[in-house]
Amino acid sequence: MDEVLMYIADMFDDGCDIHITSFSIGEEFGRAIHWLKENKKVNNLRVILDHSVKANKQHYLLFSQQVMDELYFTSIHAKVMLIKGHRFSVVVHSSANFSINPRWECTLISYDEEMYNTLLAQFNEIVKTAERYDLG
């Protein structure tokens, strides 16, 4: 998923806003978003992760939180990226988490604006009841 994120975000010359949900993250995720933020490819990054990340992957969070704009925790298994630029929107729905694993995964990429808006509304609903993480 990190490579998909890097590829799509690079399409936006003027930066983009990204919303991500994932059950898990790895070091590669932190490195990818750090590079994207540093190179002005991402204007705003909002992330929802499963509670297990906070409990079991604190070391990845310490690195990643430096470039996240908002971070939330809840009970979630969905792996979705919503990417919005000035010209178009992208929805990425995948079975893969934001971590390396040796399994075959499936990913669907769509430019459907209605799907983007529907999933963004769901993201915002989840945020209402999720635990917001203090990024300090």
> To which CATH superfamily is domain 2-132 assigned?
Endonuclease Chain A (3.30.870.10)
CA dist 37 and 29 (Å) reads 12
Q: Crossing angle of helices 2-9/27-38, nearest 10°?
A: 10
Q: What is the mean pLDDT of residues 26-54?
A: 87
Of 74, 25, 67, give the one whose Cα is nearest residue 48. 74
CA dist 35 and 6 (Å) reads 9
Of 129, 26, 13, 16, give the one whose Cα is nearest residue 81. 16
Of 59, 70, 66, give the one whose Cα is nearest residue 34. 66
CA dist 121 and 102 (Å) reads 32
Where in the chain are the domains?
A: 2-132
What percent of the chain has a predicted confidence (pLDDT) above 70? 92
Beta bridge partners of 120: none
Q: What is the mean pLDDT of residues 48-62?
A: 79
Q: Are strands 70-74 and 42-50 parallel, antiparallel or unpaired?
A: parallel
pLDDT number for residue 57: 66
Q: Which comes out higher in pLDDT, residue 32 or 70?
A: 70
pLDDT mean across residues, the chain = 88
Q: Which comes out higher in pLDDT, residue 136 or 130?
A: 130
Q: What is the pLDDT of residues 58-103, one digit of tens each?
A: 666 666 667 889 999 999 999 999 999 999 999 999 887 777 778 8
pLDDT number for residue 6: 82
> Residue 134 has which token pair?
């203090």
pLDDT number for residue 53: 85
pTM: 0.90
Residue with tokens 């540093």: 38
Q: What is the mean pLDDT of residues 22-35?
A: 83
Q: What is the mean pLDDT of residues 98-120?
A: 90
